[in-house]
Amino acid sequence: MEMVKAEEAGARSERSERRAPAAAAGLAAEAEIPQVGRKRRYTAGYKLKVLEEADGCGRGELGGLLRREGLYHSTIVKWRAWRAKMSEQGLGPTPKGQSPKELRNQLKRLERENRRLTLRLKRTEGLVDLQKKALKLLEELGQDDESSGNS
């Protein structure tokens, strides 16, 4: 009788090997592996859209919004604090497609352009001042010639 049980056990393990190779390798069957949740990341635009909807919800409507979006009330509370912090700092969501690195590069480029244009303005103002002085000098020389009677 024990012999039959051993054969049956061997037959069962062969079948289980065919069904779930992971189980034969000493790993738990796929059905037994718990799903590991991933931390969800939300864009700033999505957060602002949901917050706008949440702010417009009447009494008892917020729960429906949260169920529909798969969110918790604590998430909305955190997002509201985030929105307040961003508005205090004068920061808004970055335009879609622009990373912080791209924004820093754009800032550096604009600062270089600002310095270049400032120097150009100073040179131009200097030339204008020089022309004013030259005109004034020529006018004075012309007046001296007229007063002396030499024409």
Question: What CATH code is carried by the domain that includes residue 63?
Answer: 1.10.10
Give the mean pLDDT of 19-25. Answer: 50
Say if residue 118 is in the same domain as residue 84: no
Domain residues for 115? 97-143
The C-alpha atoms of residue 86 and residue 80 are separated, in whole angstroms, by 10
**What is the pLDDT at residue 80?**
92
Global pTM value? 0.39
Last residue of a domain, one of 73, 93, 113: 93
Number of domains the chain is built from: 2
Percent of the chain beyond pLDDT 90?
33
Q: How many CB atoms lie within 10 A of CB 41?
A: 6
Taking CA 104 as the corner, what is the angle to CA 101 and CA 108, rounded to the nearest 5 degrees?
140
- State how far the alpha carbon of 82 is from the alpha carbons of 3, 13, 54, 134, 135, in Å: 69, 55, 15, 61, 62
The C-alpha atoms of residue 29 and residue 20 are separated, in whole angstroms, by 6
Q: Is residue 114 part of a domain?
A: yes
